A = this chain, B = another copy of it.
Amino acid sequence: MKSYDVVVIGGSAAGVTAAVTARRHYPGKSILLIKKEKLVPIPCGIPYVLSTVGDPNKNLIPVENMSSSNNVDCIVGEVMDVNRGSRLLTIAGSEDITYDKLIIATGSVPLVPPIAGSDKKNVFAVKKDVPYLEGILNSLGAAKDLCIIGGGFIGVEIAEECRKKRSDINISIIEMQMHCLQLVYDEEFCIIAEKILKEQNINLLLDETVDSLAGGDKVEKVVLKSGKEINADMVIMGIGSYASIELAQKAGLDIGETKGIKVNRYMQTSDDNIFACGDCAEKVSFFDGKPSALKLASIATMEARVAGANLFSVSRGNIGVIGVFSTVLGDHAFACAGLTETQARKKGYSIATGAAEAVNRHPGCMPGGANLKVKLVFESGSRILLGGQAIGALSGGEVINTISACIQQKMTADDIATFQAGTHPALTASPIAYQLVNAAEMAIKNMISGK
């Protein structure tokens, strides 16, 4: 039986980050990381293994390297049980291990809806599992009619990657909502995304729900509730995931409303010596403190940095999830932080919005220039920023992080309008036209004119 001061269960983004954070904050403690699988895919990189990266083995988190360079021990094994009284872990494939502090970062599992036929051959979910992803890649090589269920981030990214890999097959996306990506962007931006997908000859079936998957052993058709039938010799489902909480449940830890492990703002579970972080942990919204179903690697690592730092002495709090997303479709970045206009209205805020668009170079003829549009959503009484979207030039992928900082700091429209941005001809829009600042000004103009 071995003993560690800190044991982290989980080798994906949250687990690795929690272990490294614990090491940085507690140089004298012994730390063990236990991961279930030998090879851990980079979660956000999974769609890109299908073409751009080309191989799941090139999309791995370097868990061993990060562990050894941070003086963290690392084993492969499945934790079967947590004995909280004796702080003892029973592990399949390893001797028992005791801990002083435990971090559970067991992640999530892709949701497979209870659709008839979803157990047929060539029907895939998006599992964080290298051999399984190799299976998807193999099937893709032989497919003729690919049907993707779910038009969120994973769905649209997979569609585009499959198109890059196979110019000769039919690709369809089936989405329940009126638009792809509707939960993260306002309609005007969803429409741009859909245009880019259609230009790649990706067929969009919007406002449609899957009834069943038909065929023999192997899938042949997707049957929609509307009655439509889509040929499909391959189906990939990208409709979300649920928290892996079996171990936590077995250990008797409290579970929250969204079926994640219940944690306080210090990432402690109902047992003071056990922390949870990442997809397995329950989240609350930054905006209203209500449970949030968001699951993102960037949230997971933030939570891991809170958990890892707080193990032996609480120094950090989790302010709640803002939700900062980004993707690329065609040559357009699509990035969002906080609430969209639609979401803010739905939550009952009185809002004002402003938008500004400009080339991200000055003068616009400088090489590498592309249009970037920023839209901001403010609470109209306090003028505090609730959310922002940045669409167009790839620099939007970092602009959204400035917007995230403004949201986290509850900056007002006036604060942002007088924000001190650095600008350069070869890097950004001019200081006169800088999109973030002008979007705030346009929102104020709209507030003044009562729009």
Asked if A300 contacts B401 (CB within 8 A), the reply is no
Highest count of chain B CB atoms <10 Å: which of A16, A327, A441: A441
| With known contacts A326-B422, A367-B52, A333–B45 Cβ distance under 8 A | no
| With known contacts A301-B432, A395-B395, A404–B427 Cβ distance under 8 A | no
Which of B297, B430, B449 is in CB contact (< 8 Å) with A44?
A: B430
Asked if A422 contacts B44 (CB within 8 A), the reply is no
Q: Which residue of B lies closest to A16 (CB)?
A: B432
Asked if B441 contacts A305 (CB within 8 A), the reply is yes
Highest count of chain B CB atoms <10 Å: which of A52, A335, A427: A427
Please tell me how many copies of the chain the complex holds: 2
- Within residues 398 to 446 of chain A, which ones have a CB less than 8 A from any CB in chain B? 398-402, 404-406, 408-409, 411, 414-415, 417-428, 430-432, 434, 436-437, 441-442, 444-445
A366 at the interface (CB under 8 A from B): yes
Chain B residues with Cβ under 8 A from A61's Cβ? 432
A256 at the interface (CB under 8 A from B): no
Instruction: Mark the stretch among A188-196, A202-210, A315-323 that contacts chain B.
Output: A315-323
Chain A interface residues (CB < 8 Å from chain B): 13, 16-17, 20-21, 24-25, 27, 42, 44-45, 48, 52-53, 58-61, 66, 297-302, 305-306, 309, 315-316, 318-319, 321-322, 324-328, 333, 335-337, 362-363, 365-368, 394-402, 404-406, 408-409, 411, 414-415, 417-428, 430-432, 434, 436-437, 441-442, 444-445, 448-449
Asked if A408 contacts B422 (CB within 8 A), the reply is no
In the assembled complex, the CB of A374 is this many whole angstroms from the nearest CB of chain B, namely: 11
| With known contacts A45-B363, A406-B405, A422–B325 Cβ distance under 8 A | yes
Asked if A419 contacts B302 (CB within 8 A), the reply is yes
Q: In the bound complex, how far is the Cα of B281 from the Cα of A212, in angstroms?
A: 70
Chain B residues with Cβ under 8 A from A326's Cβ? 422-424, 427-428
5 A-B residue contacts at CB 8 Å? A48-B425, A325-B422, A335-B427, A368-B394, A405-B419
Q: In the bound complex, how far is the Cα of B420 from the Cα of A305, in angstroms?
A: 11
Which of B20, B366, B420, B449 is in CB contact (< 8 Å) with A322?
A: B420
Told that A20-B432, A53-B365, A404-B421 touch, could you supply 15 new A-B pairs with CB distance under 8 A?
A24-B442, A45-B363, A45-B425, A53-B363, A58-B365, A59-B363, A297-B430, A301-B434, A302-B420, A318-B418, A335-B427, A394-B427, A401-B422, A402-B404, A409-B409
Q: In the bound complex, how far is the Cα of B16 from the Cα of A298, in angstroms?
A: 40
